[in-house]
Amino acid sequence: MPSPTVEELKARALRRIDQHREEIIGLAKSVLQEPEPGYTEVKTAQKVSQALARLGIPHQTGIALTGIKGYIPGGAGPGPTVAVMGELDSLRVPDHPHADRSTGAAHACGHHAQLGMLLGAVIGLTDPEVLRNLSGRIAVIAVPAEEFIDAEFRYRLRQEGKIGFLGGKQEFIRLGAFDDVDMAMMCHTTSAPEDGKLAVGGTSNGHIVKLVTFLGRAAHAGSSPWKGVNALNAANIALMALHTQRETLRDEDHVRFHGIMTAGGVAVSSVPAEVRLEWRVRAGTNEALEGANAKANRCFKAGALAVGATVRITSIAGYLPLLNNPLLQEVFLANAQRLVGKEGVVVHPPDRNRGGSTDMGDVSHILPVLHPYAGGARGTGHGNDYLVYDYELAVLNPAKAMALTVIDLLANGAVKAKEVKERFRPRLSKADYLRLQESRMGEEVYRGE
């Protein structure tokens, strides 16, 4: 019997995904109903694990607390390992229509759709005839904690030795979960009309996370405020100082300073003695990021100095800018165009910065990576109106595009995957990556007395 053509394999994968559409969309919708923020995705991980078990895919659970990794060996001999990935975690947007009432957790970034895509791609690729003709293997990866939220909670996990980095893929890198992976891809939903039905290209900001604690002294706020040191005033001045930096920032560096106050005092009748900020510094290049981070540190100290408070600045390694691999992009693009037509696919230039950040950026400094976007969502990303309205666009299409891309990579003796691997020049070795990110971790205490 002659071996089937790549075209025949693709047709089989597409058919199988369509046959299982209820199950694939069902997983996404089930995850939507029970959102869990990073490093607490217990039920979500269970759902993914059960779906993989039903397909007979052996996998490990509990990697980086809640992550999952399994392997599907191809039947045509050895070759590279291609990872297909999805993100397990939700955000917290308490007034989102699908928010968990007690935790405020909500899928306002569409990660539930990613798990549907992951399952869909895996279902397409596990067609026995498809698998028999693929070389190498597929790694199936569900990662925790992409949204960089709950920094105080996660920093505590780090101090307790339960994690080393606060982002899930960072932690996967540290634990060696990418050591045997040669290239990786995932797809994110988008509500931006300029992304069309499927979008490739573009980059993201790098970032550094700041936990900032202003320490003053409590005193009666009515009778003797002069006996206190007002930590809230220190924080206010620091934030004003941060605003004054904006004219020093170049547009092309995409610098963002933003954050929240996680504690602003405890009783209105006391001079606030402890005020905490969870802050973020973002920029498009590592150099711009380091520069902006130094400015932020200066501003936090300025607040403490002005009122004679103390400030403790804890810096935490955030993400690196995303580098999409051009060869992987080329393969994905052709499949995307086949699925939704040439006019349905948008190609962004590599330097188009979305402003946000993803830990796929970290992976992309070490491995060839692809992080395209899929339409089918509407509303504002991370807002209370961000909803997936079309599961065909948001789940099935990207699942198909990823499955077809894996077939192109691993069919014909995995010649394409081998080419991607051979032509890739990593920006950082794993050791250099770990050194860079560890160097961004640190604590500084400044006394403004």
Residues that bind Zn ion (CB under 5 A): 109
Nearer to Zn ion, 72 or 91 (CB): 91
- Alpha-carbon span 274 to 218, nearest angstrom: 9
Nearer to Zn ion, 205 or 233 (CB): 205
* Unique residue bearing structure tokens 């789940």: 395
Question: Smallest distance from the beta carbon of 111 to Zn ion, in angstroms?
Answer: 6
Return the residue nearest Zn ion (CB atom).
109
Residue 382 main-chain phi, psi, to 5 deg: 70, 10
Nearer to Zn ion, 106 or 275 (CB): 106
Question: Smallest distance from the beta carbon of 64 to Zn ion, in angstroms?
Answer: 17
Question: Smallest distance from the beta carbon of 146 to Zn ion, in angstroms?
Answer: 6
Nearer to Zn ion, 108 or 299 (CB): 108
Question: Smallest distance from the beta carbon of 401 to Zn ion, in angstroms?
Answer: 18
Nearer to Zn ion, 109 or 367 (CB): 109
Question: Smallest distance from the beta carbon of 358 to Zn ion, in angstroms?
Answer: 7
Question: Smallest distance from the beta carbon of 354 to Zn ion, in angstroms?
Answer: 10
**Within 10 Å of residue 385's Cβ, how many Cβ atoms?**
13
- Alpha-carbon span 97 to 359, nearest angstrom: 27
Question: Smallest distance from the beta carbon of 208 to Zn ion, in angstroms?
Answer: 18
Q: What is the 3-state secondary structure (H, E, C) of the chain?
A: CCCCCHHHHHHHHHHHHHHCHHHHHHHHHHHHHCCCECCCCHHHHHHHHHHHHHCCCCEEEEECCCEEEEEEECCCCCCCEEEEEEECCEEECCCCCCCCCCCCEECCCCHHHHHHHHHHHHHHHCCHHHHHCCCCEEEEEEECCCCCCCHHHHHHHHHCCCCCCCCHHHHHHHHCCCCCCCEEECCEECCCHHHECEEEEEECCEEEEEEEEEECECCECCCCHHHCECHHHHHHHHHHHHHHCHHHCCHHHCCEEEEEEEECCCCCCECCCEEEEEEEEEECCHHHHHHHHHHHHHHHHHHHHHHCCEEEEEEEECCCCCCCCHHHHHHHHHHHHHHHCHHHEEEEEEEEECCCCCCHHHHHCCCCEECCEECCEECCCCCCCCEECCHHHHHHHHHHHHHHHHHHHHCHHHHHHHHHHHHCCCCCCHHHHHHHHHHCCEEEEEECC
Nearer to Zn ion, 36 or 127 (CB): 36
Nearer to Zn ion, 109 or 316 (CB): 109
Nearer to Zn ion, 146 or 253 (CB): 146
Question: Smallest distance from the beta carbon of 173 to Zn ion, in angstroms?
Answer: 18
Distances from the Cα of 70 to the Cα of 48, 99, 127, 174, 428, angstroms: 11, 30, 17, 18, 26
Nearer to Zn ion, 356 or 448 (CB): 356
Question: Smallest distance from the beta carbon of 144 to Zn ion, in angstroms?
Answer: 13
Nearer to Zn ion, 140 or 145 (CB): 145
Question: Smallest distance from the beta carbon of 383 to Zn ion, in angstroms?
Answer: 11
